[in-house]
């Protein structure tokens, strides 16, 4: 004996529709963008004080394009979440120049940031909002610097150990050959 499906009560339809709309609060994608709030170095100023945001990272999203002081990067899709943001600064480097940067500084947002579903999170990178820039007197702890340089941006900091107190990559110790560390 087969039974015909029973029609849903009106209340069930409303509950299912409400549940679906709560799960998909908006069709707009969630995005993240880098805003480089470091000051622009004016003509005659010291270009070594310029800070380009070389790359950024937030939760699942790499922001791969360099952003000059005063500039805004291209938005990247991301997921709603709350966490720290990370950046690699290129001191004294102009992104419009041909040679790549010769030095990098590891940075992390001072507080956790939140991206809500359908919104665009702006990572305002400056000495007031990110820690790590030794020139601004805000170095990272060595533990936080190691996380940034070894887990988030290892390619930029490869080849040596990052000294968080001085914001420099120390050259890797030369291979001393067999027997240097033991048998």
| 85, two tokens | 């943001």
What is the band of 97 on the pLDDT scale with cuts at 50, 70, 90?
Answer: confident
- Comparing 6 with 118, the larger pLDDT belongs to 118
Q: What is the mean pLDDT of the chain?
A: 85
Residue 128 in this model has a pLDDT that exceeds 60: yes
What is the model's pTM? Answer: 0.80
What is the band of 163 on the pLDDT scale with cuts at 50, 70, 90?
Answer: very high
52 touches 66 (CB < 8 A): yes
Rounded CA-CA distance 148/105 in Å is 10
Residue 68 in this model has a pLDDT that exceeds 70: yes
| 142, two tokens | 């060595």
The tens digit of pLDDT for each residue in 4-26 reads 444 444 443 444 344 444 445 66
pLDDT on residue 11: 43
pLDDT above 90: percentage of residues in the chain: 70
SS3 state at 135: helix
What is the band of 55 on the pLDDT scale with cuts at 50, 70, 90?
Answer: very high
Q: Report CA-CA distances (Å) from 153 to 22, 28, 134, 149.
A: 36, 29, 18, 5
pLDDT on residue 173: 65
Burial letters 153-168, b for 16+ CB under 10 A, else e: beebbeeebbebeebe
The tens digit of pLDDT for each residue in 25-53 reads 668 999 999 999 999 988 878 888 899 99
Residue 178 in this model has a pLDDT that exceeds 70: no
63 touches 92 (CB < 8 A): no
- Comparing 149 with 2, the larger pLDDT belongs to 149
SS3 state at 131: strand
Mean pLDDT lowest for which of 29-38, 59-68, 173-182?
173-182
Q: 49: which DSSP letter?
A: G
């Amino acid at each position: 004996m087969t039974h015909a499906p029973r029609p849903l009560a009106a209340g069930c339809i409303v509950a299912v529709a409400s549940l679906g709309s709560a799960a998909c609060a908006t069709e707009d994608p969630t995005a993240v963008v880098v805003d480089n709030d470091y000051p622009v170095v004016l003509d005659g100023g010291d270009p070594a004080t310029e800070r380009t945001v070389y790359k950024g990272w937030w939760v699942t999203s790499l922001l791969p394009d360099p952003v000059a002081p005063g500039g805004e990067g291209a938005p990247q899709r991301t997921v709603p979440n709350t966490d720290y943001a990370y950046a690699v600064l290129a001191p004294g480097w102009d992104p419009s120049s041909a040679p790549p940067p010769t030095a990098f500084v590891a940075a992390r947002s001072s507080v956790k940031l939140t991206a809500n579903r359908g919104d665009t999170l702006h990572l305002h990178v400056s000495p007031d909002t990110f820690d790590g820039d030794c020139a601004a007197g805000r170095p990272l702890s060595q533990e936080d610097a190691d996380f940034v340089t070894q887990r988030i941006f290892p390619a930029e900091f490869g080849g040596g150990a990052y000294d968080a107190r001085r914001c420099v990559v120390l050259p890797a110790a030369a291979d001393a050959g067999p027997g240097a560390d033991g048998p």
